[in-house]
Amino acid sequence: MTETPTPLWEVFIRPRNGLSHKHVGSVHAADAELALQAARDVYTRRGEGTSIWVVPSAAITASDPDAAAEFFEPTADKIYRHPTFYEIPEEVGHM
């Protein structure tokens, strides 16, 4: 007998109104509705959430760890991109 593996879903939970959804983990489920329920049962048992997203793990395109050097290292010496790099003139006050 062959068994198809149950699809994997990534779970995102919004902790409170106004905050954004955060990745919390993954669940196995046959379809989206059961994935939502599994996420509810696994990840919101202690009142963690007010909203859940589930996304098929297969739908996520991830960056290649082997390409990390070309993806991320070029930003390392561009410290002028950080707002803290600039001196704000006194007259501006608080931004």
The contact set with other proteins (CB under 8 A) reads 6, 27-31, 33-34, 37-38, 41-42, 45
CB of 57 to other proteins, least distance (A): 14
Q: How crowded is residue 54: how many other Cβ atoms within 10 Å of its Cβ?
A: 21
State which residue, 38 or 52, has the beta carbon closest to other proteins.
Answer: 38
- Tell me if 11 sits within 8 A of 54, measured CB to CB: yes
State which residue, 41 or 88, has the beta carbon closest to other proteins.
Answer: 41
User: Nearest-5° angle of CA 15, CA 17, CA 21?
Assistant: 45
State which residue, 6 or 21, has the beta carbon closest to other proteins.
Answer: 6
